[in-house]
Amino acid sequence: MDQKLVAVIDYGMGNLRSVAKAAEHVAPNNTRIIVTHDPKVIESADAIIFPGQGAAKACMNALQETGMIHPIQHAVQEKPFLGICMGLQVLMSHSDENSGTPCLDIISGNVKHFELEKAFPELKVPHMGWNQIHQTQEHALWHNIPQDSRFYFVHSYYVQPKKETFIAATTTHGTSFPSALSHKNLFAIQAHPEKSAEHGLQLFQNFLQWNG
């Protein structure tokens, strides 16, 4: 059986090792998980996981410096692609973070800051901890993950795509926000599946078995 290569994108920030370990834990025997910032490895990989934490501007600068922007933009068009947290947000056109940051423009839309002070003064930003994900469309990556399952979040910004048809799930933190997007071979989630116990591992397992 041919070996399947899954590249975990390394831009210098985020729980890269924990993401890789979680994926390895549920990966089929013929699957190899590699953490990389090499554009050639991204180009040759069979599937991509783009995790991350930190700021949008620092992420975009790191992708630019390592030459990964074009390989990522190309990969997202043709192979299974999983974005996690910052790996979701930088797929958008623009982020309000860092006084405004142009992003990868793979999904048309913006990244907005939670503005909860007036309407929900009891809620804190960042949105941190366990919260429910409400699936709004069927998808292979939701297989064996019950509706309204709890995932772990850490973020102060959320995505707002121009096309609501891209929204695969929502979560409520004061206001309802898109917590997962999907389009063809792309699936991206705001929560951290690597920190989300059995449901997170199930999502990784579903992704590694998904052909996009």
Q: What is the pLDDT of residue 138?
A: 97
Q: Residue 15 burial by CB count (10 A; 0-12/13-18/19+): exposed, middle or buried?
A: middle
Domains defined along the chain, listed by start: 4-208 (3.40.50.880)
- Picking from 49, 105, 51, the residue whose alpha carbon sits closest to that of residue 75 is 49
Q: What is the pLDDT of residue 108?
A: 98
Q: Which of 59, 85, 155, 199 is catalytic?
A: 85
Q: What is the pLDDT of residue 16?
A: 86
Q: Residue 164 burial by CB count (10 A; 0-12/13-18/19+): exposed, middle or buried?
A: exposed
Amino acid (1-letter code) at residue 68 = M
Q: What is the pLDDT of residue 15?
A: 73
Q: Which of 37, 97, 103, 194 is catalytic?
A: 194
pTM, to two decimals: 0.96
Q: What is the pLDDT of residue 53?
A: 83
* Distance of alpha carbon 22 from alpha carbon 5, whole angstroms: 15
Q: What is the pLDDT of residue 118?
A: 87
164 is an active site residue: no
* Contact of 24 with 72, CB cutoff 8 Å: no
Q: Which of 37, 127, 173, 192 is catalytic?
A: 192
194 is an active site residue: yes
In the predicted model, residues of the chain with pLDDT beneath 50 are: none
Q: What is the pLDDT of residue 9?
A: 95
In the three-class reduction of DSSP (H, G, I as helix; E, B as strand; rest coil), residue 175 is classed as strand
59 is an active site residue: no
Phi, psi (rounded to 5 degrees) for 48: -125, 135
